[in-house]
Each structure stands twice: as C-alpha cells, then as structure tokens.
C-alpha cells in the first residue's frame, strides 16, 4: 500500500492536534476540582488546636473555591477513627484529613492500626510544627538541664516528670530523656495538657514535658523555669533557652506537626491543587498569625516535604517506643 507524502503529513498533523487536545484536557481536568462540597475530617474534638486550624482552612478554601467546606470532627481511638475514615474514602479529593504527629506514633503503640500510614494517605502539606518544652517549677534547685540531670542522678527514682498522656510525644520525650541522660524518673501521665500545666504551675511536679501550644500563655510566669526545648530550633519567645540537642542530648530533633492529607491514590493534579491552596492560606496573615499566637511555627510545605517527614520520623518514634517499652493499655 502506497502512502502519499500529503497523506503522511496530514496524519502527522492530525496526531499533533490530538496530542495537543489531550494535553489541554489534562490541564483542564484539575481546574474542574472542586465541583462539589468538601468534607474536612478532624480526628479530634471541636475546640482544640487541630480543630481551630481546620476551621480557618475550611473558611478560606470555601471563599477561594466557591464550594462549601464542612469540618467534620470524628474523635476516638487516639485519632485513628478519623484517620481511618479518610484512609478508606474515595480518592477523589472530596474527603480531606487534618491530623497530627500521633498519626505516625500509633503504629508503634498499638497492636492493630486499621491503615498503613505511608501507603493509605497522600500527603498534601504540613501546616505547622510544634515542640515540647522541658520545664521545672520555680522552686526547683535546678537552673539548667545539666543541674536537673545531676539532681536526678543524686536522687534516683525520687523525681517525677509530667506528661499530657500515655503514649504522647511528651511521654516519649520523657522516656528518651531517661535513656539519653542515664537517669531514673517516674512518669506522671495526665488526661491532657490542661491539668498537667495546672499541677506544674502549682509545684506538684518535679518536672514536665509540655507542648508549646499549652504552655505559651505561661512562658514568662515566675512559677516555672524552662530548661530546654525539643526540635532543632529555639522557641521564638524564649531565644535564651537552648534545645536538648544543643545541650548534648541526641534524639530530640523531631518536631510535632499538623498536616493535611488526602486518601492514598488521589490523582496528583488534585493533590497539587489542594497543596497550593493550603500553602497560600498558611502564608496569609490570618492563619499564620493564629499559629504563631498558639506557639507554633507555620510551614505550608510541599507534598514531598511532608512525605519526607513521615518517612524520617516514623522509625524514630518506633525506636523510642521499643527501647523504652512504652505500652498503651
């Protein structure tokens, strides 16, 4: 069969037009999202830090996209109930999760977790990071971390440290401090940071790891003394307080975080579109200002950056749980 030069050129032109049409269609598809209301799942009760962020995010997404964004609080099972709802949702961009560090700590703490953190979620953006502060009451003779460690070694098993709950970051940091410094402290778990902070301010605890959000209103109180902070950066309101790493103790580099996720398998154009909006909102005055007022550091990172945090930190928390033999009953 003979093909004329003209026919061949027409065929090539036709393929070029088809190719261009397909590229245009591919570029247009993400623009169709969102075409209906979005459900923003928060795996914790209303009123907490995660809920506050989610509601600001929902309001601004709705204003930007012209679609309702409904916050749905689904507390239970240390956040696993809400996380699981999103893990099993259709990967179409209409079910979004706002979750926290506990998401990658749970696999080490619980015998059965109903999802695979690295497989069943598509990271979108890290909203903010947080730190735990190591604090003693003002009545403590320890005026530095080194002095506290010396005091604990002189009184093995006699001093305690408060946490905002078994299996929380504060519990893990306390156990890591014991291992890293070679000291013996008694863990005193509370049902949340509120009662923990009250007892710390009242002098009922020898020491405590408290999250930055909960202690921010009391940072300059004359009833407490902040000796150290987790993570790699000093607290902006306490630039004189060094990190634990700066004071020679390793393993405290990981920060707490708040992040946005979609179900695993969500098309990348949808992930990217939501990520771009989240980054814009975090950089804006309203959410950024609120985060800083809560003692948090705004981030607004890329999907790849959040994925790297998950992959890097998950084994670190697993190691602390395993070596400290932390168990949740």
| Per-residue pLDDT reduced to its tens digit, 120-170 | 999 999 999 999 999 999 999 999 999 999 999 999 999 999 999 999 999
* pLDDT band per the 50, 70, 90 thresholds, residue 327: confident
pLDDT, mean of residues 216-221 = 91
pLDDT in tens, 37-79: 999 999 999 988 899 999 999 999 999 999 999 999 999 999 9
More confident residue, 31 or 174: 174
Given a contact cutoff of 8 angstroms between Cβ atoms, the answer to whether 314 and 117 are in contact is: yes
Two tokens, residue 117 = 């953190």
pLDDT at 329 over 80: no
pLDDT, mean of residues 6-10 = 46
Same fold, 36-129+255-324 and 132-229: yes
Backbone angles phi, psi at 253, to 5 degrees: -75, -30
Architecture of the domain made up of 132-229: 3-Layer(aba) Sandwich (3.40)
Say what the pLDDT of residue 132 is.
96
Residue of 148, 153, 281 lying closest to 209 (CA atoms): 148
Say what the pLDDT of residue 21 is.
45
Given a contact cutoff of 8 angstroms between Cβ atoms, the answer to whether 263 and 115 are in contact is: no
pLDDT, mean of residues 104-126 = 96
Strands 95-100 and 256-263: antiparallel
Residue 4 CB-half CA count within 13 A: 3
More confident residue, 75 or 29: 75
Q: Which CATH class is domain 36-129+255-324?
A: alpha beta
pLDDT in tens, 267-295: 999 999 999 999 999 999 999 999 999 99
More confident residue, 82 or 16: 82
Query: In the sheet that 121-130 helps form, which strands lie side by side, from edge to edge?
Result: 69-73, 38-42, 95-100, 256-263, 121-130, 297-298
Given a contact cutoff of 8 angstroms between Cβ atoms, the answer to whether 215 and 295 are in contact is: yes
pLDDT at 9 over 70: no
pLDDT, mean of residues 223-228 = 97
DSSP letters, 4-54, are -HHHHHHHHHHHHHHHHHHHHHHHHGGGG---S-EEEEESS-TTSHHHHHH
pLDDT at 314 over 50: yes
At 91, is the secondary structure helix, strand, or coil? Answer: coil
Say what the pLDDT of residue 237 is.
86
More confident residue, 14 or 166: 166
* pLDDT band per the 50, 70, 90 thresholds, residue 23: very low
* pLDDT band per the 50, 70, 90 thresholds, residue 1: very low
Residue 220 CB-half CA count within 13 A: 4
Say what the pLDDT of residue 157 is.
94
What's the whole-number average pLDDT of the chain? 91
pLDDT at 13 over 90: no
pLDDT at 222 over 60: yes
Two tokens, residue 237 = 């309101």
Say what the pLDDT of residue 236 is.
86
pLDDT, mean of residues 83-108 = 97
pLDDT at 232 over 60: yes
Say what the pLDDT of residue 31 is.
58
Of the listed ranges 23-27, 112-116, 303-307, the least confidently predicted one is 23-27
Domain boundaries, the chain: 36-129+255-324, 132-229
Say what the pLDDT of residue 160 is.
98
pLDDT at 28 over 50: no
């Amino acid at each position: 069969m003979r093909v004329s030069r003209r026919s061949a050129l027409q065929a090539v032109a036709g393929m070029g037009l088809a190719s261009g049409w397909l590229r245009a269609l591919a570029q247009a598809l993400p623009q169709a999202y969102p075409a209906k209301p979005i459900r923003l799942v928060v795996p914790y009760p209303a009123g907490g830090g995660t809920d506050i962020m989610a509601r600001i995010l929902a309001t601004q997404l709705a204003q930007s996209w012209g679609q309702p964004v409904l916050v749905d609080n689904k507390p239970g099972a240390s956040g696993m109930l809400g996380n699981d709802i999103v893990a099993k949702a259709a990967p179409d961009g209409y079910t979004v999760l706002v979750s926290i560090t506990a998401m990658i700590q749970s696999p080490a703490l619980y015998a059965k977790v109903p999802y695979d953190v690295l497989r069943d979620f598509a990271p979108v953006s890290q909203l903010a990071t947080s730190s735990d502060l190591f604090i003693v009451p003002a009545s403590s003779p320890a005026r530095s971390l080194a002095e506290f460690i010396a005091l604990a070694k002189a009184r093995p098993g006699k001093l305690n440290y408060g946490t905002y709950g078994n299996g929380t970051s504060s519990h893990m940091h306390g156990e890591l401090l014991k291992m890293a410094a070679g000291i013996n402290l008694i863990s005193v778990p509370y049902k949340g940071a509120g009662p923990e902070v009250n007892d710390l301010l009242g002098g009922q605890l020898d020491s405590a790891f408290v999250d930055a959000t909960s202690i921010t209103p009391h940072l300059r109180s004359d009833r407490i003394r902040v000796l150290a902070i987790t993570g790699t950066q000093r607290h902006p309101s306490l630039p004189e307080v060094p990190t634990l790493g700066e004071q020679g103790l390793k393993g405290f580099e990981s920060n707490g975080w708040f992040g946005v996720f979609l179900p695993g398998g969500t098309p990348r154009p949808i992930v990217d579109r939501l990520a771009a909006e989240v980054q814009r909102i975090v950089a804006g005055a309203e959410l950024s200002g609120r985060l800083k007022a809560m003692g948090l550091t705004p981030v607004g990172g890329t999907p790849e950056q959040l994925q790297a945090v998950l992959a890097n930190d998950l084994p670190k928390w697993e190691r602390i749980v395993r070596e400290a033999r932390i168990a949740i009953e």
